[in-house]
Structure 1
Amino acid sequence: MLNQYNLKMPTNVFAGPEAMHNLNVILKDSAAKIAIFTGGHIYKLGLLDEVIRIIENNGIEYDIISDIPAEPSYIQAQEVIDQFKVLNADLIIGVGGGSVMDIAKLASVLSTDDYTVKDLLDDPLLAKKQVPSLMIPTTAGTGSEATPNSIVGVPEKDLKVGIVNSELIADHVILDSSMIKNLPKPIAAATGIDALAHAIECFTSKKANPISDTFALEALDLILNNIIEACTDPNALEAKHNMLLGSFYAGVAITSSGTTAVHPLSYPLGGKYHIAHGVSNAILLTPVMKFNEPVIKVLLAKAYDRVVKEPNNELSVEEKSKYIIDLLEDIVKTLEIPTSLKTFNVPEEDLDGLVEAAMQVQRLLVNNMREVTPEDARKMYLEIM
């Protein structure tokens, strides 16, 4: 655990039923022209309707960029940002999942021509906030609304890479469960597992500290006890709200701690095979936790004590640890998320490339409590082949 630690997070966070109404408060303080970043499906589902209604009621000009691709490469990200630059907007609103919010956050530091997305891959510290941003997540989720991270694909490396700089942190966040009410189960499940991975990885990270533990444990509690209902019952708005909070808290934990081996092993699966980020995390979550268990069992037992509502106080540390890992595995299976790379036609002959790509992500691998060698990575990939 770190002896020195810090916390950076969005300046304003509005949450709860009808939290969207707080957009009026934000707009009173700013904005002659707004750029809305979103995905085409969000626009078609009508999730922008309330946002647009409030903006128009405030008499503010706006433009919509609705062609943001899922899992974008840095080249695609730059193309979207080039569209944004000519708009001369003074407020950015990102309405969508992780890809939308990551690109919106990049736009907030890229209204300049002084550097590009490619330049930020080489030196993230070049980024300086130029346009304030508001994030409204439509999944629960990636936690991008809370983090200083933007993830983009690097096709020439068959890898996804995180651009990390506190300047990327959103200025405002709105968490409104109405925005995820009709989220299809596969998307709700995959993004929910992503948030779950964030929480448990940050809690078991070498960089864990009292601040990150506070948010990570609360996130674990909220997610583990709500994810099934939130993903399977469209009307379970309380469970969905708890998932939004859990996702946000897990994102805050990332800013103070950091994810571990699940994420670096998953990045090549997204970069090369375009497997959804949450799905690739779900596939790797149990193998990585089992690999780490010898050195994190005390932490997993502590998680058991926090999240299990009717605990068996006679269980040993080992039994509590096993319970949590089994629970993670059961949730993935219950939500019908694939657990094998066979589903995605990933050939075993690609194993060397996967290992090589994953081992490049030392930024996160160094957080893992147990050292991950190339041979360890190979064994974990083989488990899911």
Structure 2
Amino acid sequence: MLEKYNLKIPHAVYSGENALENIIAILRENQVKKLAIFTDKGIEDAGLLNYPMKIIEQSGAETVVLDDLPPEPTYGQAQKLVDQFKASGADFIMAVGGGSVMDTAKLASVLATNQYSINELLNSPDLAEKCVKTLMIPTTAGTGAEATPNAIVAVPEKELKVGIVNDNMIADYVILDAVMIKNLPRKIAASTGVDALAHAIECFTSNKANPFSDIFALEALDMILNNIIKACDSPEDMEAKNKMQIASFYAGVAITASGTTAVHALSYPLGGKYHIPHGVSNAILLAPVMRFNEPVCREKFAAVYDRCVHNKKECITVEEKSAFIINKLEEIVKHLDIPTSLSVFGVPASDLETLVNAGMQVTRLLNNNMRKVTNEDARALYKEIL
């Protein structure tokens, strides 16, 4: 009997040179009268909002900018911005930013109604219904939030990040324009790029992996493994940056069709309790978790090797290919100067049990891991990175 798969992606995706120019057609197609622009202060200070704003001015649409959003927001902080949106009377949403900005905009798209709040969606995500159409313009090549039905918010009382997942939050439109990431600081390009790398390899090795997700995950892995260092190290290499942006989107599609695993599950407490940036916490855990998974994912890692290594292939056996890929993940994280230990962030060894207890709560993702993660396994993995 054939298994069932499904693939849900944004209605329209635009990429390539001057892709931002599609904003005008999108706004006119939807007869937008007032546009709510979700962003943050960092995006504005970097001058990135200027690019789409110049184009929006040509459309004649009224705009309201909603930018009071900190990095890695709590659900309460996200709700505050959603409430501002509801009071604005805007009839279309555009997000210009990274994962937190896009996730908050997605939440706003299903919260124009007063029937439920973000707090209620944490417990009952099925309540969400699309009320307002959305356009996502990512300013990093990493989160893939422009493609997913997920919104991640911090829940302070649980010292954890929680994902709200509902297909109604998939964006209606996406614009991938490499000009938006051209001047991204190397530190942010690195951590968000490794986040996309984690998405791709986790989805490819997930219990939910299927022919649909594999197409996008493998293509994303090929593009990321062969471009992430160039994109981070060479500010003018727009070809590499464009490929990273597309790969990030592909990895987001893979999440929608499959799902991330123990890397993301165990990283959630690191963001929720210690406010470690999401991409960094995933990078710290990436090689340790994949090494833990290797006995049951060996054939999968070998397939990654076969697809993504384009120069002279020196590995012959499945074991050699698998080891090569895991070592490659580790090399990328080190080359990009991303921390590999929690000690950099002042996480004390005495918090080990707190981490284990919090990480093991993320069963939505742990259930996707091909190798079962026990409390003792989680303890050993956290010990490795303390």
Q: Is the 8 A contact 1:212 1:256 kept in 2?
A: yes
**Equivalent residue, structure 2, for 1:7:** 7
Q: Output the amino acid matched with 2:23.
A: L
Deviation at 1:135, TM superposition (A): 0.2
Identity of aligned residues (%): 63
SS in 1 for 2:192: helix
SS in 1 for 2:143: coil
Q: C-alpha distance in 1, partners of 2:59/2:205?
A: 46
**Equivalent residue, structure 1, for 2:51:** 50
Q: Output the amino acid matched with 2:301.
A: L
For 1:181-219, what per-residue CA distance to the aligned partner results, in whole angstroms no more than 9, with x for missing partners?
Answer: 000001000000000000000000000000000000000
**Equivalent residue, structure 1, for 2:29:** 29
| TM superposition score normalised by structure 2 | 0.98
Deviation beyond 6 Å, 4+ runs, structure 1? none
Instruction: Tell whether 2:331 aligns with 1:330.
Output: yes
Q: C-alpha distance in 1, partners of 2:331/2:51?
A: 37
Please list, as runs of the form range in 1=range in 2, the aligned pairs for 1:200-279 lying within 5 A after superposition.
200-279=201-280
Q: Output the amino acid matched with 2:141.
A: A
- Over 3 Å counting, the alpha-carbon distance change for 1:358 and 1:61 in structure 2 is same
**Equivalent residue, structure 2, for 1:91:** 92
Q: Output the amino acid matched with 2:87.
A: V
Q: Output the amino acid matched with 2:12.
A: N
Q: C-alpha distance in 2, partners of 1:50/1:327?
A: 36
Q: Output the amino acid matched with 1:382.
A: K
Q: Output the amino acid matched with 1:300.
A: F
- Over 3 Å counting, the alpha-carbon distance change for 1:288 and 1:314 in structure 2 is closer
Q: Is the 8 A contact 2:315 2:321 kept in 1?
A: no
SS in 2 for 1:120: helix
**Equivalent residue, structure 1, for 2:16:** 16
**Equivalent residue, structure 1, for 2:152:** 151
Q: Is the 8 A contact 2:24 2:58 kept in 1?
A: no
Q: C-alpha distance in 2, partners of 1:331/1:53?
A: 37
**Equivalent residue, structure 2, for 1:110:** 111
Deviation at 1:50, TM superposition (A): 2.2
SS in 2 for 1:86: helix
Q: C-alpha distance in 2, partners of 1:57/1:379?
A: 57
SS in 1 for 2:148: coil
Q: Output the amino acid matched with 1:74.
A: Y
Q: Output the amino acid matched with 1:318.
A: E
Instruction: Tell whether 2:138 aligns with 1:137.
Output: yes
Q: C-alpha distance in 1, partners of 2:142/2:16?
A: 16
Q: C-alpha distance in 1, partners of 2:373/2:45?
A: 43
Once structures 1 and 2 are overlaid, which stretch shifts more, 300-309 or 23-32?
23-32
Q: C-alpha distance in 1, partners of 2:48/2:276?
A: 25
Q: C-alpha distance in 2, partners of 1:141/1:312?
A: 28
Q: C-alpha distance in 2, partners of 1:99/1:50?
A: 20
Please list, as runs of the form range in 1=range in 2, the aligned pairs for 1:114-133 lying within 5 A after superposition.
114-133=115-134
Q: Unaligned stretches of 5+ in structure 2? A: none
For 1:301-351, what per-residue CA distance to the aligned partner results, in whole angstroms no more than 9, with x for missing partners?
Answer: 000000001242651000000000000000000000000000000011111
- Over 3 Å counting, the alpha-carbon distance change for 1:313 and 1:272 in structure 2 is same
Q: Is the 8 A contact 1:305 1:311 kept in 2?
A: no
SS in 1 for 2:137: strand
Q: Output the amino acid matched with 1:97.
A: G
**Equivalent residue, structure 1, for 2:354:** 353
SS in 1 for 2:88: coil
Q: C-alpha distance in 2, partners of 1:82/1:57?
A: 28
Q: C-alpha distance in 2, partners of 1:320/1:216?
A: 18
SS in 1 for 2:283: helix
**Equivalent residue, structure 2, for 1:281:** 282
Deviation at 1:41, TM superposition (A): 1.3
After superposition, the CA RMSD in angstroms is 0.9
Q: Output the amino acid matched with 1:233.
A: S
Q: C-alpha distance in 2, partners of 1:139/1:314?
A: 33
Q: Is the 8 A contact 2:287 2:326 kept in 1?
A: yes
**Equivalent residue, structure 1, for 2:64:** 63
Count of residues in correspondence between the two structures: 384
Once structures 1 and 2 are overlaid, which stretch shifts more, 304-313 or 186-195?
304-313
For 1:200-256, what per-residue CA distance to the aligned partner results, in whole angstroms no more than 9, with x for missing partners?
Answer: 000000000000000000000000100001011111100000000100000000001
SS in 2 for 1:5: coil
| TM superposition score normalised by structure 1 | 0.99
